[in-house]
Amino acid sequence: MKVTFRIWRQDTPAVAGSFVNYEVDGLNEDMSFLEALDQLNEELVLKGEKVVAFEYDCREGICGQCGVFINGRAHGPHNNITTCQLHMRSFQDGDTIVIEPWRAEAFPIIKDLIVDRSAFDRIVEQGGYISAKTGTAPEANAIPIGKEIADRAMDAAACIGCGACVATCKNASAALFTAAKINHLNALPQGQPEAHRRVKDMTAQMTAEGFGHCTFTGACEVECPEGISITNIAEMKSRAFKAWLLG
């Protein structure tokens, strides 16, 4: 199959970017989207041109590195998958496919399709962990946890930090990411000692990073590769309000 990739090219954060069209022929519909970009880059190398910078690591939907906007949707035309899980069979022969980086003030562009998501790291640094003594692993059943709580914690812990929630939100809100990182710990007994401080500090950092406010449009839940529910945001807001009341 043959497609035209219309790709955002930007050399550095300091210079203006623009879209550039690249025709790529000989693609296979069973190729992953990233393999199609690999083929484009191989052709650019042979022509002596600069390759398109894009991020990836696992190519298995685990690491959250590969996110880009494809034809106006985070991670492309399907719900709840990452870009690396997208295949060329999702497009038609002759299509023009528009590829852009995540657009959010808190995610400045580094180069082409790569953005700086270190704002997420700084939110996690404020409490996305538990303080526990190290040593021998405790016996697995020493702290019994009910299935409902375990399921809730595991569902929130599935967040891979890709940033699709921010990129797709009209307010560029990081509420779904932050809520997932808070709730998976606050739901568990091990997370209780720091629960109050965690929600205060992580939501404060989220605001300080310049992310927008959540207005519950639900777009983040649709584009989240893990389908993390926006009920997590409601829970985070409730916990944040209590923390604010308690001082």
Residue 110 binding ligand FES, by CB under 6 A: no
Q: What is the 3-state secondary structure (H, E, C) of the chain?
A: CCEEEEEEECCCCCCCCEEEEEEECCCCCCCEHHHHHHHHHHHHHHCCCCCCCCCCCCCCCCCCCCCCEECCEECCCCCCCCHHHCEHHHCCCCCEEEEECCCCCCCCEEECCEECCHHHHHHHHCCCCCCCCCCCCCCCCCCCCCHHHHHHHHHHHCCCCCCHHHHHCCCCECHHHHHHHHHHHHCCHHHHHHHHHHHHHHHHHHHHCCCECCCCCCHHHHHCCCCCCCHHHHHHHHHHHHHHHHC
The one segment of 19-27, 64-72, 151-159, 212-220 that binds ligand FES by CB under 6 A = 64-72
Residue 84 binding ligand FES, by CB under 6 A: yes
Beta bridge partners of 21: 6
Contact indicator for 176, 217 with CB cutoff of 8 Å: no
Residue 159 binding ligand FES, by CB under 6 A: no
Question: Which residue in 3, 66, 68, 119 binds ligand FES (CB under 6 A)?
Answer: 66
Residue 62 binding ligand FES, by CB under 6 A: yes
Question: Which residue in 20, 45, 58, 208 binds ligand FES (CB under 6 A)?
Answer: 58
The one segment of 39-47, 51-59, 172-180, 207-215 that binds ligand FES by CB under 6 A = 51-59
- Whose Cβ is closer to ligand FES: residue 67's or residue 191's? 67
In the complex, the smallest distance separating the C-beta of residue 34 from ligand FES, rounded to whole angstroms, is 7
What is the rounded distance in angstroms from the CA atom of residue 68 to the CA atom of residue 84?
A: 10
Residue 223 binding ligand FES, by CB under 6 A: no
Residue 59 binding ligand FES, by CB under 6 A: yes
In the complex, the smallest distance separating the C-beta of residue 4 from ligand FES, rounded to whole angstroms, is 23
In the complex, the smallest distance separating the C-beta of residue 32 from ligand FES, rounded to whole angstroms, is 9
Residue 61 binding ligand FES, by CB under 6 A: yes
- Whose Cβ is closer to ligand FES: residue 67's or residue 212's? 67
In the complex, the smallest distance separating the C-beta of residue 229 from ligand FES, rounded to whole angstroms, is 20
Beta-strand relationship, 69-70 and 3-9: unpaired
In the complex, the smallest distance separating the C-beta of residue 119 from ligand FES, rounded to whole angstroms, is 19
Residues that bind ligand FES (CB under 6 A): 56-59, 61-66, 82-84
